Amino acid sequence: MISLTGLKVVVTRPAPYGQTLSEHLQTFGATVLYLPTIIIHPCLQNVPSTPPTDLIFTSQAAVQYAPPILNTAQVYAIGPATAAALKEKGIANVITQPAGGDSEQLLSHTSLQSVSGRHFWIVAGRHGRALLETQLLAKGATVNKVIVYERRCPPSLDEEASSAFLQAHVVVITSVDAFRHLTHMIGPVLMPALSQKIICVPSPRVAAAIERLGFIPQIIQAKSAQHQCITEALYVLSQQLNSGH
């Protein structure tokens, strides 16, 4: 049975997803500092007048803040969590890639290999990755990026949160923005402490992006950003720490 007793974890995912992950980890005995490094602020921009043949949702937040979903369009989701959020809204026929939760995985799907003449709406946050748009345009599709939210950075940590952060063994980072915002929130005083933390990420892409920002921390990689995958990665870490490795 998985036990995370004794492991001190910082969860940085935005609400409400980070709260759910924190509660999930606590059920396995982890001590959790919930420190959301992204505030999701709804906005709506670039909605075309022409309906799409295909809709791609890039995140759970994209589903939450999207305009009414057109039943005539084929719906895609980046990752199982986004697909589950769509299912909760009554959209069952969703194409996703269960093995991964990023744009590269979705673009490898057979139904996205021949897209000439199709009209895609990519429902996303402001300043998100451009890979989906670039690749689909290159294959002959018409693409509109519909912005439904933006990510904002919370204020700096207070004394209590700073103290708890210093005691943590591992920080869960599920996006590049989450890490970038964290560096602003902790400030220069805690930056050396961050470089000594173990970072849990959901993909090699996030790990590589953190390293490109100039940080070379110890990184552990979960199979995806799903709660169970993160829990399993943290369990392996907990076992290693308990054995002194």
pLDDT tens for 136-178 read: 999 999 999 999 999 899 999 999 999 999 999 999 999 889 9
Range 22-31 average pLDDT: 96
Per residue in 92-142, pLDDT (tens digit) is 789 887 665 678 888 888 888 899 999 999 999 888 778 889 899 999 999
Rounded CA-CA distance 43/148 in Å is: 5
pLDDT, residue 118, reads: 94
Same domain, 182 and 235: yes
Domain final position from 151, 180, 198: 151
Same domain, 214 and 183: yes
| Residue at 170 is within a domain | yes
Same domain, 26 and 73: no
| Residue at 212 is within a domain | yes
More confident residue, 71 or 161: 161
Same domain, 161 and 184: yes
| Residue at 141 is within a domain | yes
pLDDT, residue 54, reads: 93
Rounded CA-CA distance 237/101 in Å is: 22
| Residue at 187 is within a domain | yes
The percent of residues above 90 in pLDDT, for the chain, comes to 53
Q: State the pTM of this model.
A: 0.78
Residue 200 has pLDDT above 70, yes or no: yes
Distance from the Cα of residue 175 to its chain's centroid: 5
What's the CATH number where 28 sits?
3.40.50.10090
Identify the domain containing residue 24 by its residue range.
8-38+156-243
Same domain, 142 and 163: no
Same domain, 67 and 141: yes
How many distinct structural domains can be found in the chain? 2
Domain final position from 96, 118, 151: 151
